């Protein structure tokens, strides 16, 4: 068998030969192909001798240079683009992928581990195919390589309420199409056990059943899982509540140190939001996952959104958010609206423990949603303007919030609502980090008094992201900023670090 990488013009840019032996069972074969050049749009060909016959079950072509050199690892440039965000956690496998299109399509983590050829492929609600070459084991390894906490999200025993498929029993009524159905209660004990087994796979000793399977996969040390999400944007209904409670109670009983994250529906208000929060307070759920995709104006005028949340109660994970304009572009206007809003989220860091922009990755020409944070094709990676905001925040998140007003030359609420400041202290290196956002079409002049922090300097090196509102190509640049009186350019996000 000749295995070739073939350029669009038909020329072979690399090949290898594999000798296949007759067999009554499945046999795995591997080869390394060295290419002499790159050619965008190339494809893989398998050429058999005339008259030969073979059954082929799985074909996988991988770059030799993967992130951290992992076998079956991630494409290096994509993973590096994520790594420089310095994420504190990684959510997996993602919203509607987790709870699936009908009960039979709920993501089963056990089908994603073990030998690649033995894994169960899945289609999903977004109508694309998952080989699951990146399964739960690779996910845990990637988090470890990033220095990020894993945050697996599993179905609460119900598929997506927008499913086009019913439950998996013949007596399931057709009226469940597009509505919420649930795993039959008589099968829930087995499903709950699957979730507990995932925690054992991540954290169990090698003497446990699933800890031993992790060790067999090459990682005897535990992955130290601390968080687990149960549910995603679900209807908080009579179907959802008893199934969620079964899972929550079982995790709390067997793994009391695991932080369970619940769900409060798909929006920042409404019946599921209210019912989800009520359930969280009744059960004492440590944290809930809020989602909202909104117009930039909502982020401008709702910077007090978390100011009145209850303290010392259930915390918030803002698991999916983005600023959406008509046509769904990613540009300076959307990015700075998110930056402005994040300054208020940092101010409420005692309530909002974690945030994650969504969606994260999209392949050009194969998307069902806009905007995404990072686009890519077979050759290159294309970070968006919103990505640069995430990078600036992710690399400068700090450990505690410091109140530090910015006094600007206006008292007009429409003006002051478009100017944001967040100052945080970074315990790791002793820096104070100041983030300043101006979402006005004109410059804003203001003063910031850092002397209470032991800082008395006249200028500082800073990073700035700025441009016209529709600019989709803007990238950060280095600037020098005068202090304590400073001028923020129109449509700009400025960040600097200083030591006392």
Indicate which residues carry an active-site annotation.
233
* Closest-CA residue to 154 (of 113, 204, 196, 211): 196
Residues 26 and 30: their CA atoms lie apart, in Å, by: 13
Q: Please, are residues 433 and 463 in contact by the beta-carbon 8 Å criterion?
A: no
Tallying the residues shown for the chain, one arrives at: 500
Which residues are registered as beta bridge partners of 431? 426
**Token pair belonging to 337:** 């609206």
- Pick left, alpha or beta for residue 280 (phi over 0 → left; psi -120 to 50 → alpha; otherwise beta): alpha
């Amino acid at each position: 068998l000749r295995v070739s990488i073939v350029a669009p013009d038909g020329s072979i840019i690399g090949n290898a030969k594999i000798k296949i032996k007759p067999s009554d069972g499945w046999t795995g074969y591997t080869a390394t192909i060295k290419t002499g050049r790159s050619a965008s749009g190339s494809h893989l060909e398998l050429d058999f001798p005339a008259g030969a016959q073979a059954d082929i079950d799985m074909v996988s072509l991988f770059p030799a240079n993967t992130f951290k050199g992992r076998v079956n690892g991630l494409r290096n440039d994509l993973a590096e683009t994520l790594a420089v965000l310095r994420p504190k956690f990684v959510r997996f496998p993602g919203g509607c992928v987790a709870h699936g299109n009908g009960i039979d399509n709920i993501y089963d983590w056990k089908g994603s581990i073990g030998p690649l050829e033995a894994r169960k492929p899945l289609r999903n609600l977004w109508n694309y195919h998952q080989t699951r070459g990146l399964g739960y084991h690779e996910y845990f390894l990637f988090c470890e390589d990033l220095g990020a906490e894993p945050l697996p999200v599993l179905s609460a025993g119900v598929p997506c309420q927008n499913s086009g498929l019913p439950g998996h029993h013949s007596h399931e009524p057709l009226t469940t199409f597009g509505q919420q159905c649930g795993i039959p209660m008589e099968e829930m004990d087995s499903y709950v056990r699957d979730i507990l087994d995932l925690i054992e796979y991540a954290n169990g000793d090698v003497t446990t059943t699933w800890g031993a399977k992790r060790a067999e996969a090459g990682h005897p040390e535990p992955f130290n899982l601390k968080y687990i999400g149960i549910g995603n944007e679900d209807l908080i209904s009579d179907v959802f509540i008893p199934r969620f409670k079964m899972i929550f109670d079982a995790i709390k009983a067997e793994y009391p140190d695991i932080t369970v994250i619940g769900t409060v529906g798909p929006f920042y208000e409404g019946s599921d939001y209210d019912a989800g929060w009520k359930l969280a307070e009744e059960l004492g759920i440590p944290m809930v996952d809020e989602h909202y995709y909104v117009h930039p104006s909502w982020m401008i005028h709702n910077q007090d959104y978390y100011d009145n949340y209850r303290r010392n109660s259930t915390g918030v994970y803002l698991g999916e958010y983005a600023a959406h304009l008509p046509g769904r572009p990613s540009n300076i206007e959307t990015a700075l609206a998110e930056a402005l809003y994040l300054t208020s989220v940092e101010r409420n860091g005692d309530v909002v423990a974690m945030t994650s922009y969504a969606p994260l990755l999209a392949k050009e020409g194969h998307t069902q949603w806009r905007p995404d944070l990072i686009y890519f094709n077979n050759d290159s990676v294309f970070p968006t303007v919103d990505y640069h905001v995430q990078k600036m925040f992710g690399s400068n998140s700090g450990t505690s919030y410091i109140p530090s007003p910015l006094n600007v030359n206006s008292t007009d609420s429409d003006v002051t609502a478009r100017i944001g400041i967040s100052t945080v202290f970074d315990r790791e290196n002793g820096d104070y980090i100041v983030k300043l956002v101006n979402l006005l079409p004109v410059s804003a002049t203001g003063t910031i008094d850092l002397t209470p922090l032991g800082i008395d300097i006249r200028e500082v090196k800073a990073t700035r992201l700025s441009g016209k509102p529709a600019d989709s190509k803007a990238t950060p640049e280095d600037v020098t900023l005068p202090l304590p009186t400073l001028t923020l350019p129109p449509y700009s996000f400025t960040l600097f670090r200083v030591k006392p």
